[in-house]
Amino acid sequence: MNREEIIEKLKPIVEPFVNDEEAFANLTDKTNFITDLNINSANLVDIILDVEDAFSIVIDNESMEKMTDIENTIAIIQTKQAEK
């Protein structure tokens, strides 16, 4: 999957947790879930579970720790999909 395809699939997963709509509308690779989108850190695990279901992948603890912004999230999804 390329970057655009992943972002299109990622957006509806992240949207319910977003507390800064403007940052979400102007999403970039550097957008951080917590500092930019103002997502409650406890909800990151919910996003990761939904990502696992949507992309049919399993995200290990080490990768999970890195899933804090869009760029890393795309990279991890691509890596996990390649491993399948």
Partner 1 sequence: MKNRVVITGLGIVAPNGVGLDAFTNAIKNGISGIAHDAELERLKFSCQIAGTPTISEALKRKYFTELELRNFNSTGILYGVMAGLDAWKDAGLSIDINDNPDWDSGTIFGTGTSGIEKFRESIYKIDDLQTRRLGSTAVAQTMNSGVSAYLGGKLGLGNQVTTNSSACTTGTESIMMGFERIQQGKAKRMLVGSTSDSGPYIWGGFDAMKVCTFKHNQSPENGSRPMSASASGFVPSSGAGALVIEDLESAIARGARIYGEILGGNINSGGQRGEGTMTAPNSVAVQKCIVDALADANVKAEAIDYINGHLTATSKDALEIKNWSEALNRKGTDFPYINSLKSMVGHCLSAAGSIETVATVLQLYNGFIFPSINCDDLHPEISECVAVEKIPHQLIEKELNVVIKASFGFGDVNGCLILKKYAIN
* Alpha-carbon gap, residue 31 to 63, rounded angstroms: 18
Near partner 1 by CB under 8 A: residue from 8, 21, 34, 49: 49
Distance of CA 73 to the CA centre of its chain: 5
Candidates 1-9, 26-34, 44-52, 67-75; binding stretch for partner 1 (CB under 8 A): 44-52
Among 12, 16, 35, 65, binds partner 1 (CB under 8 A): 16
Q: Does residue 42 interact with partner 1 by CB under 8 A? A: yes
Task: Kindly report the number of other CB atoms within 10 A of residue 37's CB atom.
Answer: 21
Nearer to partner 1, 8 or 16 (CB): 16
The helix/strand/coil state of 83 is: helix
Q: Is 43 in the site for partner 1 (CB under 8 A)?
A: yes
Q: How far apart are alpha carbons 57 and 7 in whole angstroms?
A: 16
State the residues that interact with partner 1 by CB under 8 A: 16-17, 42-46, 49
